[in-house]
Amino acid sequence: MKPSLEVRQDKAIAALLYSTTLKEAAKSCKIGESTLLRWLKEDEAFNNRYRKTRLEAIRHSSITLQQHANIASQVLIEIATNQDTHPTARISAAKSILDFAYRSAEVDDVDARLTALENGTCKTL
C-alpha cells in the first residue's frame, strides 16, 4: 500500500531539513525531484507545513545555542587571556567578546526604550 500524500510530504519536509540539496532530499524520501519542486512551487499547504517545521527546528537550535552560550563565553575568555595562545587567536577572541558585549548593551538599550514606550513613560528617543 502506497503511503498517503500527507505522509509522503511529511517525509519530504524532514528530508528538506536534513539534506544539503534538493536532489538529495528527493532521493532520501524516494520521490522525484520534479515532484518535490512542484510541491515547493505550487502547494501552499505543503509550503506552510515546511515553513512551520523549519521555524520550529530553528527555535530548537536557538535554545541549544543559548544553553551553551556560557561555555562559548568561557572559551573566548580563556583564549583571550592565555598568554601562550597565538596573538592572532587572542585578538580574534577579544574582538568577539567586545562585539558581543556591544550588541548585548545595544539590545538592552532597545529593550529599555521599547518598555518605556509601551508604558508611556518615554519622554524622548
- Spatial CB neighbours of 122, under 8 Å, sequence gap ≥ 6: 113, 116
Q: Is residue 59 scored above 80 in pLDDT?
A: yes
Mean pLDDT, range 34-43, rounded to an integer: 95
71-98 pLDDT, tens digit each: 999 999 999 999 999 999 999 999 999 9
Q: Which amino acid type is present at position 36?
A: L
Residue 50 one-letter amino acid? Y
> Which of 3-7, 10-14, 23-27, 52-56 bottoms out in mean pLDDT, i.e. has the lowest?
3-7
Q: What is the mean pLDDT of residues 31-44?
A: 95
75: CB partners within 8 A, 6+ apart: none
Asked if residues 26 and 32 have their Cβ atoms less than 8 Å apart, the reply is yes
Burial of 39 from C-beta contacts in 10 A (0-12 / 13-18 / 19+):
buried
* Residue 125 pLDDT: 53
> Global pTM?
0.62
How deeply is 97 buried, as exposed, middle or buried, from its count of CB atoms within 10 A (0-12, 13-18, 19+)?
A: middle
Q: What is the mean pLDDT of residues 96-103?
A: 92
What are the boundaries of each domain within the chain? 5-65, 68-119
pLDDT at position 120:
84
